[in-house]
Every structure is written in structure tokens, then in C-alpha cells.
Copies of this chain bind each other. A is one copy, B any other.
């Protein structure tokens, strides 16, 4: 990557004060990182500039054919006031995998991480200080060529924006009720379920609406071929503790390889748990629920870190999990991961990267 050019704002925004409400994803910092791609030239002109509207031709391909990718990650303020990232190289690798599937030019892993660090350094005073708060980081890439034919774009922009966000759980972990989707499908082998492209999310909105109408907060997705195996919950990966063993779906083309998921598997193995990364039928989950062996269920993702599930509804049948309370292992994973992320526990796994 060329040297980053800095054009800093002359009119900084008023930062939220500690204790101010921080709604997720609507307050943006003063600057953004931008880098252009042109076929033949490659990636060029990396820059940190004031956060401002993008100028896009109405025929820009992202607006018609959704050639677009994104990542989600956070910067955490540690007790000594420094700022750190959590496994940013894993986001960089997944971003590359998304770009390969979407026929988009990859951003080198090192450039991806360097751009994030540079932007977070500039925005360091935007990283909030209260427990559980963080700076959410959104790298994304869009096809900008003005062309109505269906083909890969010849120009792109790679952009990073940031927003300070509140603690996901204000008063401790809070189990959610999950609706098992049996009509709509999120992903199928040969499709795009394993990458972070926009199309996956647009297609999922209708199921979220159905779940909410029924009083459930998220959707549990089944596989698209047999409609039989559990895959993801909302936009999180999903774990099931049944009779002592922990199950999670394999990421074989339809399930996003979550970085929190990966970290949970590594911690569970370190702690001596048997982790079965294999296809798990929803029927087995419901049966375990009836037999009192469905001990814990939780989602994993960057926003919530760990999201305990207290109830599952599938085809009219309901399974209550651990009396609707957060399980001990769910809590331990949450405490350990957030402890490492916010620098309150020693990072034995080598997962954090200091920014400043």
C-alpha cells in the first residue's frame, strides 16, 4: 500500500460524553479511510479524510448488482487507557475470501490491518470509556463503475467507517427467544452463505420480520437443501450444549466463519470440552429439549459477543433452555472473551493487537 494521505477535519463533531446514549450504528466519527481500485492500476490513493457523503453515479454497479462486501470488528479501550483490536488478521482473511467469491479485487491482509490501525489512531478519542462500550469498525468495499451490464466492475472503493457503540447488554446477559425458520432460506451450497456480502443480509430481512411478529427476537436458519440441519441464528453463529457436548455447524459453504465462533471453539477445546463441528438436525435439538438434555444454546458474533438463547420455537413446538436462564458455560465464554477483548484478562491466546 502507498503511504496513507491525511486530510483531517477542520470542523470536528461533538463527541458523545461518557454516559450518553450510543444507539448502534448511527453515530459516526469524524473521519473515514478510503482507497480506490482501478483495473490495470490496482489499489491506489489510500487516504483518511473527513466523514462525508459518497458521490456515486446512479449507474454504479453496487446499486444494481450488489457487488459489495463488508466486515465488522471493534476497537476496545483497556483499563490502562490504551486501545486494542481483536484478531483483525482474521477479518482481513475473511474479507479476501468474500472478494474472491464476489469477483472483487482482494485487499492485501497487511494493508487491511494497517488501514484500520491508522484510522483508529486518528479517532482514538472516539473510543468510548465505559464498561462494555467500544468503537465499532465497518470496513466495506463497493463496485463503483457506471455500467448497466452484468459483469464484475472495473473500479471499486474500499472504505472504513467507525461508530462508538454502547454495551450490548446493559444489565448482564439476557437470553433471547428464537424462531426456527421453516419457510425462507438464508444459504445453500454453491451460494454465498460463507461470505459477508450484502445480498445475504437483504434476503434475510423478511424472516426477521416474521420472527418479530410472532414475538421472537431472531431467526434460527436451517440448511437450504434438506431444511433439517441448524446453521446460523440471525446474523450470528450458533452453539448447542447437549448432554455435555458442544455442537456448532461446520462452515462448509453455507455458514459464515465467524471470528467469535472460531475463538469459542478454541477456548472450549482448551478447557477440555468435546466440540462437535458437524451437522446437527433440528429434530435432535428439539428431542434433547424434551429429554432435558439441551443444556445451553448461544449465538456468537462481534456485536453481542455471546448471546444466550432461552427458548426455541420450531413448527409450533417450543423448547425452553436452562429455565430461560443464561447457562454457566455461556457465561464463562462471555466473561473470558470480553475479558480478553477489553484487556481485563491476560491474553494467553495472543488474540489482541495494540493500536495505541
List the interface of chain A (C-beta within 8 A of B). Answer: 24-26, 28, 32, 51-60, 62-68, 70, 101-103, 136, 138, 140, 142, 146-152, 159, 161, 163, 183-185, 188-192, 197-206, 208-209, 224-225, 227, 234-235
Contact = CB atoms under 8 A, between A and B. Distances in A.
Given A59-B25, A190-B185, A225-B225, A202 B65 contact: yes
Given A64-B201, A201-B65, A206 B103 contact: yes
Nearest to A160: B58
A65 B189 CA distance: 21
Tally of this chain's copies: 2
Given A148-B24, A199-B198, A235-B150, A63 B142 contact: yes
23 contacts: A26-B59, A26-B146, A53-B57, A54-B55, A55-B55, A58-B159, A59-B138, A65-B198, A65-B201, A67-B198, A101-B206, A102-B202, A148-B163, A152-B205, A152-B209, A185-B190, A188-B191, A188-B224, A190-B224, A191-B203, A192-B199, A197-B202, A198-B198
A55 B58 contact: no
A58 B54 contact: yes
Nearest to A138: B148
A234 B151 CA distance: 11
A106 to B, nearest CB: 14
A292 to B, nearest CB: 32
Given A101-B206, A163-B148, A68 B63 contact: yes
Contacts of A227: 190
A96 to B, nearest CB: 15
Contact of A147 (B26, B62, B101): B26
A64 B98 CA distance: 13
Contacts of A208: 150-151
Contacts of A188: 185, 188, 191, 224-225
A53 B56 contact: yes
Contacts of A205: 65, 67, 102-103, 150-152
Contacts of A209: 103, 152
B66 A197 contact: yes
